[in-house]
Amino acid sequence: MNNLYIEVEKRLRNVFWENVNIDFHDEKWDWKHFYLYIVSDIFEWKSRVERSKVVYSLLDDLLKTDYIHALRLKLKTNSEIIN
């Protein structure tokens, strides 16, 4: 399943390439329920829904094929972390 981590990281870094912090891990140790935390200024001026749509669009096929059954997201900008 390390390939899943590599694939997710690659897809995310292709979009969130500048000044980004990504934490992706198996939340329940079952290789199906994951947590994804991203800090990026790409989210600036985007609503929570818009931020989620960006991420889901990148991982859509992995969600549809059940490689990722559940995905909990925490998506922030750098200024939201500082303040």
- 5-58 pLDDT tens trace: 899 989 998 888 777 888 998 988 888 889 999 999 999 999 999 999 999 999
Residue 65 has pLDDT above 70, yes or no: yes
CB 63 within 8 Å of CB 71 = yes
Q: Give the CATH fold of the 2-68+77-82 domain.
A: GMP Synthetase; Chain A, domain 3 (3.30.300)
> 83 pLDDT exceeds 70?
no
pLDDT on residue 19 = 75
Please tell me the total number of residues recorded for the chain in this structure.
Answer: 83
Instruction: Please tell me the distance from the alpha carbon of residue 77 to that of residue 37, in angstroms, as a whole number.
Output: 11
Distance CA 20, CA 52 (A): 16
- Which pLDDT band, with edges at 50, 70 and 90, does 66 fall under? confident
| Domain ranges (residues) in the chain | 2-68+77-82
Check residue 61 and give its pLDDT: 93
